[in-house]
Structure 1
């Protein structure tokens, strides 16, 4: 789309008018997506009606950002935009008046040297009504322009104000429709993630259940020969399957409890270092990773120790699972302003930036490039819910090739 601009500054320095909170106003304006868009008949109808009512040839619907004034509708002219510094409408949106009328710009100190007045456009008369959104921001104007003087009647002024409100109604409706479409799209994506999750749950539960069923069938066949060498291995395999099934069912039940606000916290006061020193013993016993505890060994916390332990265990288990070559896993305790922070750091492959915002989502699980990992992927979601119930914050930082750090912080109000 070719844009035509009203004029050039020609070296003239103009004093610009600005609205109160300009950055907030511009941010609100951009939420409507009015710049660099196609013309629309709905707006053209309103400018044509304004022209007929006011008996003025040029009517514009304009929106003004930091530097530009775009014309969403431009009845009576081919111009489609203007420089903000030349715009009469910049003064309108900065004014507290319901309508700004300039009977003769040639006699107005604000515009007497404006190239729109002295140049080929020869603007003489201007009247503009601010387009004020529901949050009170003046986004642009509905304005009428002519090359000769005019005097608007009360009815014409009232009509311009009414038409300006209709413009605002239309853009508000457009924004709400866009927001609704976005919400529907996000809902559809959420439902798809939920369906994918349910399919994954079915698959993950099927494997240990199938193994357990096969083991029970073997046990039934060998029940008269319990001393057979294979018998103990079958029992061990069955026990592992039951542990997997029990863990997945616990995760699903916890997810439900947290989503329904049914989690009950049993808070006590405990020393964080002592908790870290005894948690994750399964990792210490395995002997493949060393848990290195650093930081303030005196800090105490008033929280549900079992739930906080659950979060730390999940962080450490993830480090073992996704960073198996990270021989040392660092658990750090620190005080950050009004928060106490616990972090778990590995030196594994790291996590891509695009995955970081989704790590704690309920139905999200990353694609690990063909590497097969078991589990429902609910651990981090459950951790985030536990920390939220403690009025804390949770997060992760990572750099590819250098490792990841998972952390949570609880406010100092929970300390003693």
Structure 2
């Protein structure tokens, strides 16, 4: 018996094999089906997907055998991986000097006929084989050989998919950890900034109360500007906190939600000081199974914008909802300032605004619509806007059922 040679690239080959994290895993349907097809097409009782590590030949799928591995020194597949470009064929092992006294030939499972297709990864490393075995001499025609090659390609495709899935899982876990760290940082930073800002506003109010008659009009205007800037910065911090919580919001539990009831509740949380008219133009029975907190946050932002960025004597906001098999489509329509055509995509980007000043003089921070877009997409939907300056805006978004 001739022992198989060790490939010249053995160290790198073993490293590549371990990157698939597949050794000693449980049987899986995808591989079982491939060996079943190989056995049926080639009309043989045994078909294997093998992987060669340092000391053994391990079977990811072993149709026709009860064992899960054999020593590498006696493995036919350990010979096959040394010629990555060709099929390894042994028509009758009893007449082959390399194998005639091999224990796998002289004893169970009596490997007489063997054909192995090397499983070569994209980097050129032979990880193992897809092989077929018979206990008597056998011959494959060209159709069977071509089919076996195609099945071997599919084995490698499944291997590569597994490797990419593992890498993606690791990446997702890293992102989740980073998000947790960023959320914690945002909370701490916000707490540390909001406290001195509140002190600034309080001290300015106190200063004006005690020294209003001493400071001239220009000085009072400067103090008002400082106070306004501090309040704007405080709002910006609140907005960043809300935006940073999107991933957490979307991970919370889902429930059945009636749109009419949710929008009525959201409208009560919106600042409506002044003349505002809400209209809900849809069937009151439309419901969806989704995340309540996320959907409520979307409506609060859009309803608030319809009022805040509005120059009409009466701010009008209309909500329309319709449902189909896959999505619920919602339109939030206002009669506000409108958005220039060139700004209609930009307004959904973080820290981007389309107007300098809102209805009651406050300035936008460019976080609200970015938050809305993030939440809508997190719920499997899409958002867009149609708008005309001086007429109003129609924000249309979908939520996947």
TM-score by length of 1: 0.48
TM-score by length of 2: 0.50
